[in-house]
Chains A and B, each alone.
Chain A
Amino acid sequence: MPLGLIKYGLPGKRRARNPLPSAGRLKPRYDVVIVGAGGHGLAAAYYLARDHGITDVAVLDKGWLGGGNTARNTTIIRSNYLTPEGVRFYDESIRLFRGLSGEFDFNILYSERGHLTLAHTDAALRTMRWRAEVNKHLGVDSEVVDLDGLAQLCPPLNLDRGERFPVLGALHHKPGAIARHDAVAWGYAIAAAQRGVEIHQRTEVTGILTDKGRVTGVATTRGRIACGRVLQAVAGTSPLLAAMAGGRAGGGPRGAGPERPPGGGAGGASPLPIRTVPLQACVTEPLKPFLDPIVVSGSLHVYVSQSARGELVMGGPTDPYELYAQRSTLEFKEGLAAPMLALFPFLAEVRVLRQWAGLADMTPDFSPIMGLTPVRGYYIDAGWGTWGFKATPVCGKRMAETVATGQAPALIEPFALERFAAFRQLGERGAASVGH
Chain B
Amino acid sequence: MKILDCPLNGPRNISEFACGGEAIEMAHPDTVSDAAWADYVFGAGTARGVVREWWFHVPTAYWFIAERDTGTDEVLRTYPASELFGPGGEAGEGA
Contacts and interface: CB of A to CB of B under 8 A. Distances in A.
B24 A255 contact: yes
Interface residues of B, number: 36
A421 B90 contact: no
Contacts of B36: 263
Contacts of B22: 253-255
Interface stretch (A137-145, A178-186, A244-252): A244-252
Contact of B71 (A274, A277, A325): A325
Nearest to A331: B15
A10 interface: no
Nearest to B19: A321
Contacts of A248: 44-45, 47
A273 interface: yes
Contacts of A53: none
A274 B2 CA distance: 25
Given A263-B36, A331-B15, A253 B50 contact: yes
Nearest to A259: B49
A254 B45 contact: no
Contacts of B42: 273, 364, 420
A391 to B, nearest CB: 20
A68 to B, nearest CB: 16
B73 interface: yes
A271 B22 CA distance: 15
B28 interface: no
A275 B46 contact: yes
B51 A254 contact: yes
A2 interface: no
Interface in B11-30: 14-15, 18-19, 22-25
A271 B39 contact: yes
Nearest to A251: B49
Interface in A390-436: 420-423
Contacts of A250: 47, 49
B95 interface: yes
B61 interface: no
B91 A256 contact: yes
B82 interface: no
A318 interface: no
Interface residues of A, number: 41
Given A327-B73, A331-B15, A420-B38, A364 B48 contact: no
B44 A239 contact: yes
B70 A322 contact: yes
Given A322-B70, A325-B72, A253 B44 contact: no
Contacts of B52: 253-254, 256-257
Nearest to B36: A263
Contacts of A276: 45-46, 70
Nearest to A273: B42
Contacts of A273: 42-45
Contacts of B25: 255-256
Interface in A197-254: 238-240, 242-243, 247-254
A247 B1 contact: no
B73 A263 contact: no
A421 B41 CA distance: 10
A84 B47 CA distance: 33
B71 A238 contact: no
A320 interface: yes
A324 B48 contact: yes
Given A322-B70, A324-B70, A256 B95 contact: yes
Contacts of B50: 251-253
Nearest to A359: B46
A323 interface: yes
A260 interface: yes
A330 interface: yes
B44 to A, nearest CB: 4
Interface in A307-366: 320-325, 327, 329-331, 364
B56 to A, nearest CB: 11
A270 B47 CA distance: 15
B30 to A, nearest CB: 17
B34 interface: yes
A320 B39 contact: no
Given A247-B45, A325-B71, A329-B2, 11 more contacts: A248-B45, A248-B47, A251-B48, A253-B67, A255-B23, A255-B91, A256-B25, A256-B95, A272-B45, A320-B19, A324-B46
Interface of B: 1-2, 14-15, 18-19, 22-25, 34-36, 38-39, 42-53, 67, 70-73, 84, 90-91, 95
18 contacts: A238-B45, A239-B45, A242-B45, A248-B44, A250-B47, A252-B47, A253-B52, A254-B47, A256-B25, A271-B44, A272-B44, A273-B44, A276-B70, A321-B19, A325-B73, A329-B2, A331-B15, A421-B34
